[in-house]
Chain A
């Protein structure tokens, strides 16, 4: 019985159990609903929960553990020569057995017996059914594959029976409990509360998953390349991930990537902060409600545009524009029509990222500026200060901690931004300080190392996780500090 059919049957049993529980509570109350502790619907739900939840749990456990057990049994039943060849070969043999087993399920009895007595070639027969074998099958695989199939079938059958039995038994147990004074609602609500807690723990699990997965993969990387070499290396040259080359043949220096990341983020902030801050001040202090109601949502459209669109904009519009204008400028000034800005450069990526960050800066600072108490503003204006003096001397100093927090949040976004730099910053890992030349970033290299065919044993692939955890730690630090500042600021004026 397939898993989806089993799920459907459990759902059906659950539904019937609900109806049965409801009608039983009706019957018990003797037509007087007010004598029941819980509404009939709760009794029904109680029975339905008993009918489905234990069965589903059993199903999940079975689905996870049975393949492990079957793999183990089949592997230990493989012949001695295969056993003694080490874990990698064993794993390979097991994989082949599994694909033979999958192929056998598509053959009829006569074809299988033909393979068994050797009158038909296994590889060709299976290939004609659309199952490709990696190598010529060994005779022992036929037996192992049949054992595998038999065990799987048996396990499946046993699972279906056990799960359905648990489901029905649960329903009957719950049905027996139903009585006039039975507190069905409290039980149902306890299950609901449990599921609410489960849902909110997913947030924690995500963080744990991020940290654990990256730490373990980065840990494997650091067994091949020393952390010193990674964190303080000045050359990034990972070479290609050649299968079987094993050790670290390339150089994995983080510093050029980090320099590029921070440089581009700095240029972006240089561009976004003045514009965003001035826009926020104008919006909060000067703009008429009409202008504000038009300009604010329009600026926020910039934040809603996907970053891939910005990347494309940088690639086909801003980059070529800067390159051409530098060619013209150079030609007019020196007579040598040679571009001095590359199409992919720090400044291209920085400007486009800056455009993306304008709405972040402006809406975060706008919120913070409008939170400054009215009294401070009125006091300053009442003493005869102009609006701009009020902003500069009173509001900005009062809002400064909050604005710094907002800017840190924006900076963390700039550091973690991927698509713009992938398309606009270039791939050359270099340490240099000319903003008109291409540089590369941590995120670009994560993408470069992990697209294409992967092999999870080479340092060339695993380095991406070391880069990832570096990025995660940097942004986490920025975020926690920023959120701390913003929170403290908010408390100050509440």
Chain B
């Protein structure tokens, strides 16, 4: 513009300073700042994701290793069945003094003087108290072992486990830590002899609840979660698909269907704990179903998952182009045949993706399960969905409330297991979408 105003003037005689100041520098600086804020926000979000995952993994990966002590246990008849009554009184094998066997084996292994009681006590404290039930199960399963000496792999106590993994600060004054100096010395000698070693922890996948960290696992909780997921799948997929087919393909546009629509959108946003209250009041209190049962948990989670599945299914049905329907109807198919033979198969990938995502949500849900009594100390595997059981996230919640340090490791381990399941489910959903996605 300046050039038009004075075509003959040279640019150098009219320096930039006299141009109308539109604050371009300031504006560009603001632009850069704004951009940096945006980038920073994403970076902060990803940073927190990284911290969260790192905090869980760094605390939890050691839970997949367990320190064990392999001792030659002498199943002496003197200890197990001193009066030789096991043929007449089967209870004898259950009540025998099994810890004594462990003590004797350990005393022999470490070469201690059995008369020094405090020392021997410290040594036996290195082995988990679950050794009793472990040895009992061996003897009950096969009473012929009595009188023989067999090497048995026993769990180390949680404190020794932590010390062996290097999680306990040994420079702290001895009186203020749970692992004594003698125990550390024995631990090191046993480790040198190859008696005490770390191995992959299968127990965390197979054990049930226990007040001793080393004998606690998510096995029972996993089975409970599996029951629930199966029932949720069996109930919510058909009901959800049927409901969406009706709403999307058949329902007349009127007040009632409008109400159902608003209703479903709202149900998707109702806090999950409210579903727990519903389950408690209706299923347990009113219908008299058993507390802590996987079946009740599954019902509650089904109601919670349905809106998610319905919304996803309706979107998938909507994405099928009308030409498919017109073609089928034009060839003489009935409305029902059109939907079930042509529209539904084409919408199936979208429906399954939505279902998997809904199930993944249900798998991680804790709050409603707390209210229907799944906060239960369940030791035995539930034989059916009607027996008391617990679920993986609830197990995590219960462990998170435990005071012992070793439970933090277990909790993180359980979270890793839960996250791995969720990753697989979500990956499955993504692959399904990639593999079968159609562009019309």
Contacts and interface: CB of A to CB of B under 8 A. Distances in A.
A213 B282 contact: yes
A310 B366 CA distance: 12
B45 A279 contact: yes
B243 A199 contact: yes
A468 B274 contact: yes
A417 B367 CA distance: 9
Contacts of B274: 210, 214, 416, 468, 471-472, 475
Interface string A426-467: 000000000000000001001100110000100000001100
B228 to A, nearest CB: 14
A282 B396 contact: no
A214 B27 contact: no
Interface string A143-156: 00000000000000
B271 A416 contact: yes
Contact of A413 (B42, B269, B412): B269
Nearest to B273: A418
Residues of A in contact with B, size category: 35 or more
A196 interface: yes
B375 interface: yes
A412 B270 CA distance: 8
Interface in A185-205: 185, 189, 192-193, 195-204
A386 interface: yes
B306 A475 contact: no
A245 interface: no
Interface stretch (A227-235, A328-336, A355-363): A355-363
Contacts of B275: 210
A217 B281 contact: yes
Nearest to B268: A479
Interface in B220-242: 238-240, 242
Interface string A389-402: 10110000000000
Contact of A443 (B35, B240, B367): B367
B38 A185 contact: no
B155 to A, nearest CB: 24
Interface stretch (A75-83, A246-254, A298-306): A298-306
| B260, B306, B360, B370, most chain A CB atoms within 10 A | B370
B41 interface: yes
A197 B245 CA distance: 9
Interface stretch (B49-57, B88-96, B100-108, B197-205): B49-57
Interface stretch (A10-18, A98-106, A166-174, A270-278): A270-278
Contact of B375 (A206, A446, A451): A451
Interface in B299-318: 303, 306-307, 310
A175 interface: no
Contact of A203 (B243, B360, B366): B243
Given A306-B393, A483-B262, A418 B271 contact: yes
B415 to A, nearest CB: 5
A164 B51 CA distance: 63
Question: Interface of chain A, helix or strand or loop or mixed?
Answer: helix
Contact of A451 (B243, B371, B411): B371
A409 interface: yes
A418 B365 CA distance: 10
B263 A317 contact: no
B250 interface: yes
B52 A313 contact: yes
A391 B250 CA distance: 43
B34 interface: yes
B289 interface: no
Contacts of A185: 334
A317 B336 contact: no
Given A278-B37, A468-B277, A298 B49 contact: yes
| B34, B39, B286, most chain A CB atoms within 10 A | B34
A295 B49 CA distance: 11
A308 B31 contact: no
B242 A200 contact: yes
B250 A196 contact: yes
A213 B271 contact: no
Given A207-B263, A279-B42, A475 B271 contact: yes
A283 interface: yes
Interface stretch (B2-10, B77-85, B131-139, B418-426): B418-426
Interface of A: 185, 189, 192-193, 195-204, 206-207, 209-210, 213-214, 216-217, 274-279, 281-283, 285-287, 295, 298-299, 301-302, 304-313, 315-317, 355, 358-359, 362, 386-389, 391-392, 409, 412-413, 415-419, 422-423, 443, 446-447, 450-451, 456, 464-465, 468, 471-472, 475-476, 479-480, 483
30 contacts: A189-B335, A192-B336, A196-B246, A200-B244, A206-B303, A278-B37, A278-B42, A281-B38, A304-B360, A305-B52, A305-B422, A309-B396, A310-B52, A312-B400, A316-B408, A358-B45, A386-B30, A388-B30, A416-B271, A416-B272, A417-B271, A446-B371, A447-B370, A447-B371, A450-B277, A450-B370, A451-B375, A471-B274, A472-B270, A479-B265
Interface of B: 27-28, 30-31, 33-35, 37-42, 44-46, 48-49, 51-52, 55-56, 59, 238-240, 242-247, 250-251, 259-260, 262-267, 269-278, 280-282, 285-286, 303, 306-307, 310, 334-336, 360, 363-367, 370-371, 373, 375, 393, 396-397, 400, 408, 411-412, 415, 418-419, 422, 426
